[in-house]
Amino acid sequence: MGILLYSLKNILNLKQEIKKNKKLFISLTAVGIFLILLVMLSLLLRTRNQDVETQNQNTTTKQSQAQQTEQQTTTNQTQKTIISIYSIFPPNKGNTTPDMDITITFNNTVSLANFDFHYTPALSVKETQYNKKIFELKNLDGFKPNTKYKVTITAKKNIIFRETMTNKYDFTFTTVNSTYSEIINKSAQ
């Protein structure tokens, strides 16, 4: 019977240790699960941060591409040559004699081939380049006296006029009833 009491006592001690160990086992299991959850959360956040970085890189790349496109557009626009008309004879809205020619002087070198001319009323004109900056428009039939004329110059090949910021420039003049030599003779008398 002593053995039975000893065995029963051992069984009760074992049962209490199992209860203690069970609490320890449950605590360790809970800590283990908590650590596993922390690792999973860390991995999830790292993946999310990588996705955000990838989106930021894509956004930066798109912005960079947009800036490059804008710079190319600006470069294409700035490749236009801006010229100014330095002087016109006869002056815009001025008067001239029917026997005079039209002279256009530019601020820099130009080529006659880069321009078209339109005359109202229609004229028979020989357009020549006097030098690198001056065009001479010689009316082959002469101007009619007391007539208002309009000249429209259209530039080609990415040329724009500073005065209009377009590729067109026009001016008008009116002829008087006297020739140049008649005016000179009258002023000499």
Ordered strands of the 168-175 beta sheet: 94-96, 168-175, 148-155, 115-120
pLDDT at position 100:
87
DSSP β-bridge partners for residue 33: none
- With 0.75 as the threshold, say if the pTM is over it: no
CATH number for the domain formed by residue range(s) 81-188:
2.60.40.3710
Mean pLDDT of the 162-173 span:
88
> At residue 58, does pLDDT exceed 70?
no
Which tens digits make up the pLDDT trace of 67-76? 665 555 444 5
Which tens digits make up the pLDDT trace of 7-16? 666 666 666 7
> At residue 105, does pLDDT exceed 50?
yes
30 compared with 50, residue with greater pLDDT: 50
CA distances from 43 to 13, 34, 54, 171, 185 (A): 44, 14, 16, 75, 102
Q: Please, what is the average pLDDT of the chain?
A: 78
80 compared with 26, residue with greater pLDDT: 80
> At residue 136, does pLDDT exceed 50?
yes
Please provide the distance, in angstroms rounded to a whole number, between the alpha carbons at the two ends of the chain.
167
With pLDDT > 90 as the criterion, what percentage of the chain qualifies? 28
**54 Cβ contact partners less than 8 Å away, ≥ 6 residues apart:** none
